[in-house]
Amino acid sequence: MAGRIQDKVCIITGASSGIGEAAARLFAEQGGKVVLAARRDKTQNIVDEIKAAGGEALFVRTDVLELADIDTLVQTTLDTYGRIDVFFGNAGVGNFFAIEDMDLEKDFYYTINTFMRANWWAAKRILPHMMEQGKGDFIFTTSCAAYNGVAQGSVYSAGKAGIHSLMRAIAMGYGKYNIRANCVVPGLTTTELSPAGGAMEQMQVPYIPMGRPGTAKEVAYAALFFASDECRYATGDELIIDGGGDHLGVMYPEAAEKGIDNEGFNIGEGGTTVTLE
């Protein structure tokens, strides 16, 4: 029996771990030809495992901050498969501390360029091919933080909100070519950025009605729905996957009382930032 996205060529950025890795494995299980874009060599191991399980996959080493890498990603996919059916813009960074302590280049531009510039450039390069073939899908991973004022995540929240606007622009401008654009919007999800038992989880779980974080695969299933033909009439939409936490009420108002402050976000090199590519 054919899979839900049988033979669709799907680029997934940030595919070396977390939601991107889960999506790559799931898309391949459902018949997709997946192109994993990431910086880390470990991504090839994921490709090898997908192939061993009978799927089709390709690793293209990609730093989404380098526009030339995105060009190579798009061209390699076209050279290999002749088309691009799905672009899942999932690569992300976490950047959480006070505005006055942030650096313009290494914090602001680093985050905004990862979220906005990279996805905009990918769309610029891919849209002409989708227009020619008369069909295509853009899916972006954003965050419930895009809807909220997150004191320690000003640029993160702004960057994610910007992706929502980019998604709507694609949906509005290219629907006539049968090209759709949608966002999956996770709340707390267990990944390298938010590990099990970490500060994010401690702060948010008490305020999530379902009482737990989401899993990367649960988010990947939402992306699979958007990538499939099961929802061809859905475009410009945002599917929230947060266990009811972020959009039903105010998150973690007692964080300070619990002793979880700015230090709780000290993750990654330099104690402030981690890249999930």
Residues with catalytic roles:
156
The edge-to-edge listing of strands for the beta sheet with 86-89 is: 56-61, 33-38, 9-13, 86-89, 136-141, 179-186, 237-241
Closest of 91, 90, 86, 92 to residue 30, by C-alpha: 86
Residue with tokens 């895009």: 146
Candidates 172, 66, 61, 74; CA nearest to 123 is: 74
**Residue holding tokens 């459902």?**
30
Q: What is the DSSP letter of 164?
A: H
Helices (H), 53-117: 67-81, 110-112
For residue 150, CA distances in Å to 147, 163, 191, 221 come to 9, 17, 19, 27
Q: Strand pairing of 92-95 and 273-276? A: antiparallel
CA distance 277 to 113: 14
What sign does the CA torsion over 144, 92, 222, 67 have? positive
